[in-house]
Amino acid sequence: DGGITQSPKYLFRKEGQNVTLSCEQNLNHDAMYWYRQDPGQGLRLIYYSQIVNDFQKGDIAEGYSVSREKKESFPLTVTSAQKNPTAFYLCASGTSDTQYFGPGTRLTVL
């Protein structure tokens, strides 16, 4: 897990609620990423940020939002517009090529 922390480890959401997943890194990496992991599939990119105060949509950004106010932090909000949010969410940070992952947050919609 290195210097990347994610919280909480498990999160339960009722339908219609927004929830925010935390990601913090102390590796001094400029770039941070959010991925979604579903059974039997490769990681899919939700959002990424190459620098503070800037972020870009990934392949599956609909229903998600992010902010990057500090270099160390890249929180992900799963909104009620995300129709199938139950998944394992992974945050990563890295240099221009290599990525290092946090321990993940398991989100379940009740």
Partner 1 sequence: GESVGLHLPTLSVQEGDNSIINCAYSNSASDYFIWYKQESGKGPQFIIDIRSNMDKRQGQRVTVLLNKTVKHLSLQIAATQPGDSAVYFCAENWDNYGQNFVFGPGTRLSVLP
Compare residues 85 and 104 and give the one whose CB is closer to partner 1.
104
Q: How many CA atoms lie within 13 A of 26 on its CB side?
A: 4
**Cβ neighbours for 68, distance < 8 A, ≥ 6 positions apart:** 32, 49, 51, 52, 53, 54, 55, 74
Q: How many CA atoms lie within 13 A of 16 on its CB side?
A: 0
Contact string 86-105 vs partner 1 (x = CB under 8 A): --x-x---xxxxxxxxxxx-
- Mark the segment that binds partner 1 (CB under 8 A) among 11-19, 28-36, 61-69, 73-81: 28-36
Which residues of the shown chain bind partner 1 in the complex (CB under 8 A)? 1, 4, 6, 31, 33, 35, 37, 39-43, 45, 48, 50, 56, 58, 88, 90, 94-104, 106
